[in-house]
Amino acid sequence: GNQIRYIPRDLGHCQSLQVLSLSNNRLTQIPLEIGRCNKLKSLDLKDNPDIAVPPAYVIVQGPAKVSEYMQRYGMALTSCSLNLVKFKLRGFPSEITWTGSFLTELDLSNNSEISELPYSISSLSQLRKLWIDKSNLEGRLTQGLGYLPSLTDLSLKSNQITSIPIGLGRATQLKSISLEKNLSMSLPPKEIYSRGASAVLQFLHALVIGE
């Protein structure tokens, strides 16, 4: 290693790059632009003890998995849509809240180790559509969900959620909300969410007005 601490974003313009080894350095993160290297098959980041992006549990899965992870972000830079479905995430990726302000769509479905959402999800001010179905969200969801001004579609089916934030009633753009198969749900009660999105939204609006 060379004790490298920084990788320039311009490296993302190297469209012919196939293998990149940056092991045994002092990197703290890899710029998302690296994901634009469409031919990159191997990105070796092992033995960078301070690295946060990509997370350590992705790095230990090997250079090919690291490359795929970064390419998902690279595609999102163009499409503003990040898809990490079935990626074996170990929780909500923290980097999304401090690098993903440009995102309009986010799909984290089918990741069984996502059990909670951070309040900082509220930083995704452009987010319109959020899917986290068939994961392991449990308990009361963060109030941060109520501070997504652009949110139009929210799908949280097949989790262990007991309560969604009343603040969602202030999300004036929200048109669709799916909560099916959350068997312990108490807010909203089953007789409300079983009647569909419009009933849930009316229920939440009424609670907000009553605050």
* Claim to verify: residue 132 and residue 161 sit in the same structural domain: yes
Note the pLDDT of residue 71: 95
Residue where a domain terminates, one of 23, 50, 79: 79
pLDDT tens-digit series, residues 142-156: 999 999 999 999 999
Residues β-bridged to residue 176: 153
Residue where a domain terminates, one of 79, 99, 123: 79
* Claim to verify: residue 108 and residue 49 sit in the same structural domain: no
Give the CATH number for residue 191: 3.80.10.10
* Claim to verify: residue 187 and residue 101 sit in the same structural domain: yes
Range of the domain at 63: 1-79
* Claim to verify: residue 85 and residue 73 sit in the same structural domain: no
User: How much is the average pLDDT of 9-23?
Assistant: 94
Contact 130, 155 (CB under 8 A): yes
Query: DSSP code of 87?
Result: S
d(CA 103, CA 109): 16
* Claim to verify: residue 23 and residue 106 sit in the same structural domain: no
Count the alpha carbons within 13 Å of 43 in the hemisphere toward its beta carbon.
Answer: 27
* Claim to verify: residue 67 and residue 95 sit in the same structural domain: no
Residue where a domain terminates, one of 18, 52, 79: 79
* Claim to verify: residue 69 and residue 108 sit in the same structural domain: no
- Statement: residue 194 has pLDDT above 90: no
* Claim to verify: residue 14 and residue 112 sit in the same structural domain: no
3-state secondary structure 45-78: CCCCCCCCECCHHHHCCCHHHHHHHHHHHHHHHH
Note the pLDDT of residue 211: 64
pLDDT tens-digit series, residues 165-190: 999 998 889 999 999 999 999 999 98
* Claim to verify: residue 58 and residue 95 sit in the same structural domain: no
pLDDT tens-digit series, residues 50-108: 999 999 999 999 999 999 999 999 999 999 999 999 999 999 998 899 888 999 999 99
* Claim to verify: residue 63 and residue 95 sit in the same structural domain: no
Identify the band that residue 116 occupies on the pLDDT scale cut at 50, 70 and 90: very high
Note the pLDDT of residue 1: 61
* Claim to verify: residue 99 and residue 154 sit in the same structural domain: yes
- Statement: residue 163 has pLDDT above 90: yes
* Claim to verify: residue 137 and residue 160 sit in the same structural domain: yes
Per the structure, the count of domains in the chain is 2
Least trusted range by pLDDT, from 35-39, 133-137, 206-210: 206-210
Contact 111, 87 (CB under 8 A): yes
